[in-house]
Chains A and B, each alone.
Chain A
Amino acid sequence: MKRALLLLTAVVLAGCSSSSGTPAPATFNLANVTIAYSGYSTSNTYWNILGKAAATEAAAKGVKFVDVTATTNDSGIQLQAVNSELSQKPSALIIGSVDNNVFGTTIATAKAAGIPILAVDTGINDPYISALIQTDNEGAGKLIGQQICTDTGGKGTALVLGGTVGAQSGDARKKGVEETITACGLKDDGQYGNWDSATDVSLSDATIASTPDLSAIFVPHSDGAAAVAKEVSDKGKTATVKVYGFDGSAAELTAILNGTEAASIHQDNVTMGKTIVDDAITILQGGTVPQTVLIPPVLITKANAASFQ
């Protein structure tokens, strides 16, 4: 019920723009539909859940689902996998991109072949993209930023980590946090941890050692946030340095309930996976879907963390 309400809100928030596919042939049969999907990586829990939700929905709708997600978050490998699959002429292509800037040729090829491309979680900046469903990453960053301001009283320095430079979702999260915390008076120390928890921990350790007034650390992904929360706790700094994360994985929820992590963001990846497949089918049937669906983020704190477990 909560998910349905969230999605409804999101669709309303998405505005008036919409995308429609070419009219479906008279003999349109779901059994002949193949939806190809390439997510960020199979190694990432968040994406794993999203991919499984998409596959489950495809099976429920009776369409063939081909998952070509690579094991590593390498944009080159993802591009190769997507292009190889494209040569097999799928009915539609769903991309959760590692690097949203590399798909120029892919989009041109898909356009020429009349294959719709949909983006999930991370936007791809091209008008040919039929639909995008993602968390409002910048809005989520602002939400976390407000929590940081509340918890710290706007005092001290915040280490705000990004993912890799240019990654749309990580950049949007970082931007949202940074804009909010600087507005409430916190000093911003921005760095990039390359989505690697060990790098996040090293950056946090070095910043703790060199920044006496450090009061908050934001890590834009779950693995890194839980790792940094544990590190800060081991150093006995939890009372003075608050840790904030994203995705709200099981490890993060435990950390929030233990008090070693202050807050995180819940992303409804199951709804994303399900909806993007539904959208693909609607487009193939000649229907209309919203061009962009931004799912409102939900702040996870100690007060509500148990409900997400």
Chain B
Amino acid sequence: MQKQLREIAGPLLGLILIWIFIFALAPISRDWSSVENVLENSTGSGLFIMCCGMTIALIGNCLDLSVGSIYALASVVVGQLLKAGVPIPIAVLAGLGAGALCGIVNGTIVSRTGIPTLIATLGTQMAFRGVADMIGAGVDMEQFGKTFDWLGSGLQGPLFCSAIAFLTIWFILSKTRFGYQVFAQGGNEEVARLAGIPVKRNIVLIYMICGIMAALASIVYTARVDFAYVDRGQGWELLAIAGVVIGGTSMFGGIGGVGKTVLGVLIYESIFAGLIYLHYDAFWQQVATGVVLILAVWIDHTQRRASASRRTGVNIAKKRSLWSRVGIGS
């Protein structure tokens, strides 16, 4: 427990400092509605749910750049089905199924061909968006009714869906054999393979879970705005990675947790809202998020290097980089 608290101490302190700063400089924000606004945008946009999926992907060393396109694809799949009068549960399941299918495609390409994750999911990012266009470009999909609306409106529905996403990923990572294997192969895939872990199967499962989470995120946002639209989720893969990494999950695999992701997304959304409360341009939000992201990765990198040096006496972690992780460079 102490170890877990130590691990989240940095991001937690950062989040507290951000809010002290906001409350001190923007008196008008000293109100529950300001905090509620951050919670609504974290959950209602689907960003937190997408980040839950990205958490397991990054821990398992499976970078996924296609989540933004899956977000768009799931939106139009659900929109088309609801528009056709299909019952809500079936339409939602079909949307999640579309996300799962996309994940399986990603996982199969990565595990069977050995193509670096960066390239493979960059390719599928374009392909999935093309499919979404084929299904939904130029089609009006709106007015899905109050029942579906509940999933995304206000705080209750989005919080409920976010809690499901959080608990699912938390359970998988901390209570199942598969979860332990994800950490193991994320830390060192070759060692995991030699230890008998079914790495290839796990890669497919990781991408499938990530795809389902991206689809769920999309369903929540579609319900929030009450219409489906194909031009969504562009650049969201980077937001999702940022949210996860800012929380303290490692970009280099093997370390992290969905609890950290809660803090990461809250930090991201708090910076965004805080700067608006302080009447700064939205550009400053991008600058601030970029700086926090670099800091988070730098801290992670430094800790890994120090840890590796202590363990082996050799600075091997220095040799690992994001690019070697995705198969480019040594």
Contact B41 A202 (CB under 8 A): yes
- Cβ contact of B133, chosen from A42, A198, A208, cutoff 8 A: A42
Known: A230-B226, A234-B153. A196 touches B28 (CB 8 A): no
Interface SS majority for chain A? helix
How far, in whole Å, are A31 and B153 apart by their CA atoms in the complex? 54
The reply on B221 being an interface residue by CB < 8 A is: yes
- Min distance, Cβ B138 to any Cβ of chain A, angstroms: 4
Contact A197 B37 (CB under 8 A): no
Contact A49 B138 (CB under 8 A): yes
Contact A209 B225 (CB under 8 A): no
Contact B143 A254 (CB under 8 A): yes
Produce 1/0 per residue, A185-208, CB < 8 A to B. 000010111001111011101111
The reply on A227 being an interface residue by CB < 8 A is: yes
Number of interface residues of A (CB under 8 A): 40
How far, in whole Å, are A107 and B203 apart by their CA atoms in the complex? 46
Produce 1/0 per residue, A209-223, CB < 8 A to B. 110100000000001
At the interface with chain A, which of B159-167, B229-237, B297-305? B229-237
- Cβ contact of A43, chosen from B34, B133, B143, B279, cutoff 8 A: B133
Produce 1/0 per residue, A30-59, CB < 8 A to B. 000000000001111100110010000000
B contact residues around A44 at 8 Å (CB):
231
The reply on A231 being an interface residue by CB < 8 A is: yes
How far, in whole Å, are A71 and B66 apart by their CA atoms in the complex? 14
Known: A197-B229, A251-B227. A234 touches B154 (CB 8 A): yes
The reply on B295 being an interface residue by CB < 8 A is: no
- Min distance, Cβ A212 to any Cβ of chain B, angstroms: 7
User: Which residue of the partner chain A has the closest CB to B229?
Assistant: A223
A contact residues around B224 at 8 Å (CB):
201, 227, 230-231, 234
A contact residues around B132 at 8 Å (CB):
43
B contact residues around A208 at 8 Å (CB):
37
Contact B276 A223 (CB under 8 A): no
B contact residues around A189 at 8 Å (CB):
279
Contact B45 A202 (CB under 8 A): yes
- Min distance, Cβ B147 to any Cβ of chain A, angstroms: 15
The reply on A249 being an interface residue by CB < 8 A is: yes
- Min distance, Cβ A112 to any Cβ of chain B, angstroms: 31
B contact residues around A223 at 8 Å (CB):
229, 231-232
Contact A226 B225 (CB under 8 A): yes
A contact residues around B37 at 8 Å (CB):
205-206, 208-209
The reply on A73 being an interface residue by CB < 8 A is: yes
- Min distance, Cβ B153 to any Cβ of chain A, angstroms: 5
Known: A43-B132, A71-B126, A234-B154. A210 touches B34 (CB 8 A): yes
Contact A209 B277 (CB under 8 A): yes
Produce 1/0 per residue, A61-104, CB < 8 A to B. 00000000001110000000000000000000000000000000
How far, in whole Å, are A201 and B225 apart by their CA atoms in the complex? 9
B contact residues around A202 at 8 Å (CB):
41, 45, 269, 272-273
The reply on A24 being an interface residue by CB < 8 A is: no
The reply on A12 being an interface residue by CB < 8 A is: no
How far, in whole Å, are A234 and B155 apart by their CA atoms in the complex? 10
Q: Which B residues from 253 to 283 make CB contacts under 8 A with A?
A: 269, 272-273, 276-277, 279, 281-283
- Min distance, Cβ A223 to any Cβ of chain B, angstroms: 5
The reply on A8 being an interface residue by CB < 8 A is: no
How far, in whole Å, are A27 and B113 apart by their CA atoms in the complex? 53
User: Which residue of the partner chain A has the closest CB to B44?
Assistant: A201
Known: A44-B231, A251-B140. A210 touches B225 (CB 8 A): no
B contact residues around A227 at 8 Å (CB):
224-225, 227
Contact B45 A198 (CB under 8 A): yes
- Cβ contact of A210, chosen from B133, B221, B277, cutoff 8 A: B277
User: Which residue of the partner chain B has the closest CB to A221?
Assistant: B231
How far, in whole Å, are A208 and B36 apart by their CA atoms in the complex? 12
How far, in whole Å, are A249 and B235 apart by their CA atoms in the complex? 24
Q: Which B residues from 104 to 158 make CB contacts under 8 A with A?
A: 126, 129-130, 132-133, 137-140, 142-143, 153-154
Contact B225 A230 (CB under 8 A): yes
A contact residues around B41 at 8 Å (CB):
201-202, 205-206
The reply on B4 being an interface residue by CB < 8 A is: no
Produce 1/0 per residue, A233-268, CB < 8 A to B. 010000000000000011100100000000000000
Interface residues of A (CB under 8 A from B): 41-45, 48-49, 52, 71-73, 165, 189, 191-193, 196-199, 201-203, 205-210, 212, 223, 226-227, 230-231, 234, 249-251, 254
Pairs A–B under 8 Å by Cβ, sample size 12 = A41-B231, A192-B282, A193-B282, A198-B47, A199-B282, A202-B41, A205-B41, A209-B33, A230-B225, A234-B224, A250-B140, A251-B229
Known: A71-B130, A209-B31. 19 other contacts (CB 8 A): A41-B231, A43-B129, A45-B137, A45-B229, A71-B126, A198-B45, A203-B276, A209-B277, A210-B28, A210-B277, A223-B232, A227-B225, A227-B227, A230-B224, A230-B225, A231-B225, A234-B153, A250-B142, A251-B142
